[in-house]
With several copies, the nearest count.
Chain A
Amino acid sequence: MATANSRELIARRAEKEIADGDYVNLGIGMPTLVANYISPEKTVVLQSENGLLGIGPYPTEDEVDPDLINAGKETVTASTGAAYFNSAESFAMIRGGHIDVAILGGMEVSEKGDLANWMIPGKVIKGMGGAMDLVHGAKKIIVIMDHVSKKGEPKIKKTCDLPLTGKGVVDKIITERGLIEVTPQGLVLKEVFEGYTVQDILDATDADLTIDVRE
């Protein structure tokens, strides 16, 4: 499982996928951390699918408004230039291709870019929330996750075993070990992170990988 350290590394690398001026949706959990590392040089607007464009920092105790939360139900603030709207408008933004980047967590990703991240059969069903809409809407879908499961099993596989969130939707996968792009020709390993080798990644991946690592 990712250490605090590797979570920070993943979040920092994911931040580089965000360009100045982008509108970004960050999923619940590790993706939310990315917000902490957004360069002050960039103007980035964070969308929250419960109806806020322009998530600000967490509030001070005095600023807490119970009616102002993010999609993870945490109390937040609104940034300058923010807008509130209803859930239909929020998903119009998402589904309509207006979000530049969505960064989501993942349980499994297939070599075709299928994503499974919403349920484990036999375990309690919690629901997909906005994930199934997000994977079809944002211009770039980045999955950030541990490279292997808690049991040490590969999470990047030829095909997903878990029920899908979306088919052929992922553009990039970032783990603590490296960065993999999903291309029409299959998965391409583009970056290997400190402390790992190409072989480490091949061993921990259950799908064909083309190696195209720039030094």
Chain B
Amino acid sequence: MKTIYSSAREAVAPIEDGMTLMVGGFGLVGIPEQLILALVEKGVKDLTIISNNCGIDEWGLGLLLKEKQIKKMIASYVGENKEFERQALSGELEVELTPQGTLAEKIRAGGAGIPAFFTPAGVGTQIAEGKEIREFNGKEYVLEESLTADFSLVRALKADTFGNLIYNKTAMNFNPMMAAAGKVTIGEAEEIVEAGELDPACIHTPSIYVQGLLQAEQEKRIERLTTR
């Protein structure tokens, strides 16, 4: 039975200035909306954020950016956000761009107790500069180290009271690896059900990775509505 917070504010209470946070989502899909809003409200500063993207100007992690709460961003693609551009170019914001698969694997490794691994992505590019390159079976690979976080904030479709999580469609994305790589992981779920209601064969994040839960409605803003 995990802690179930009564508000997003309560959930983010232990998050302090200078901490490293992983925040789930791909674009605006699968982001923990209310936890992000609570971080903005709390005004916590100097955060290092690990997330595939950095939201848009008016939603998601873009809101933290606007309030200058982010010191450093580790991401793979940040092209949707004008304020990001401005802060990155002016040097206010430190940026570490990482190939998307390497980012996913660094986070997966962090949760899995693998401190480093070799990957082909980035070999021969500026991403590999200063990193160890080694050949295996005639191909070159770069050594990448794992990532962990003080807190991971993830967004689920359903949680059970034990902390098992399932995600909706492509809202899964980085959430499961981040749930495993956070020292403390808070799952923001659209619905919290009794333990036993989720199919044990279809759990995306087993309860062991989750420390706290928040039930919260999601706006689910759409970045690029495309229809037939």
Contact = CB atoms under 8 A, between A and B. Distances in A.
Nearest to B165: A83
Contacts of A51: 26, 170, 172-173
Contacts of B52: 87
B187 interface: no
Given A94-B101, A98-B180, A166-B124, A81 B174 contact: no
A73 B95 CA distance: 22
A57 B227 CA distance: 9
A133 B77 CA distance: 13
Interface stretch (A61-69, A151-159, A199-207): A61-69
A49 B100 contact: yes
A21 to B, nearest CB: 7
B200 A66 contact: no
B214 to A, nearest CB: 18
B76 A75 contact: no
A81 B101 contact: no
Contact of A86 (B29, B120, B175): B175
B5 to A, nearest CB: 16
Contacts of B169: 52, 65, 67-68, 78, 84
A151 B85 CA distance: 25
Contact of A98 (B28, B99, B208): B208
A88 B221 contact: no
Interface stretch (B34-42, B64-72, B103-111): B103-111
A103 to B, nearest CB: 17
A20 to B, nearest CB: 9
B13 interface: no
B125 A130 contact: no
Contact of A50 (B78, B173, B176, B227): B173
Interface string B73-89: 00111111000010011
Interface stretch (A7-15, A40-48, A173-181, A188-196): A40-48
Nearest to A71: B26
A90 B180 CA distance: 12
B99 A131 contact: yes
Given A69-B27, A75-B227, A133-B99, A84 B76 contact: no
Interface in A97-142: 97-99, 114, 124-133, 136-137
A122 to B, nearest CB: 10
A43 B227 CA distance: 23
A38 interface: no
Contact of A84 (B80, B85, B127, B172): B172
B100 A21 contact: no
B95 A66 contact: no
A75 B206 contact: no
A33 to B, nearest CB: 13
Nearest to A32: B226
A69 B97 contact: no
Interface of A: 21, 23, 43, 45, 47-54, 57-61, 64-69, 72-76, 78, 80-99, 114, 124-133, 136-137, 163-168
Closest 8 CB pairs of A and B: A91-B101, A167-B124, A95-B113, A133-B101, A126-B79, A92-B112, A81-B195, A81-B162
